């Protein structure tokens, strides 16, 4: 199974994985809004940093689920 196939399978079957993907997407949208602002306030810069960290944590959690699933499928 490829990484994309595992991801699609998890999106269909795993509510926690789906929640992580949705939250990651929401963070991405918020980050895009901040980055496309003409002027960034200090609050925007803090929010940008927090969103980037949150996205990384979410991505790490998703990758762990994918890795666990891949390990389970292979054994």
pLDDT at 59: 97
Domain ranges in the chain are 3-74
pLDDT at 28: 98
pLDDT at 26: 98
Helix (H) or strand (E) holding 18: helix 15-35
- Under a CB-based contact definition with an 8 Å cutoff, are residues 52 and 34 in contact? no
pLDDT at 20: 98
Q: Per-residue confidence of the chain (75 residues) as pLDDT tens digits?
A: 788 889 999 999 999 999 999 999 999 999 999 999 999 999 999 999 999 999 999 999 999 999 999 888 776
């Amino acid at each position: 199974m490829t990484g994309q196939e595992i991801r699609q399978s998890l999106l269909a079957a795993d509510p926690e994985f789906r929640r992580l993907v949705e939250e990651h997407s929401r963070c991405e949208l918020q980050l895009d809004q901040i980055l496309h602002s003409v002027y960034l306030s200090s609050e925007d810069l803090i929010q940008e940093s927090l969103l980037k960290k949150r996205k990384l944590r979410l991505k790490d959690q998703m990758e762990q689920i994918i890795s666990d699933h891949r390990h389970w499928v292979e054994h």
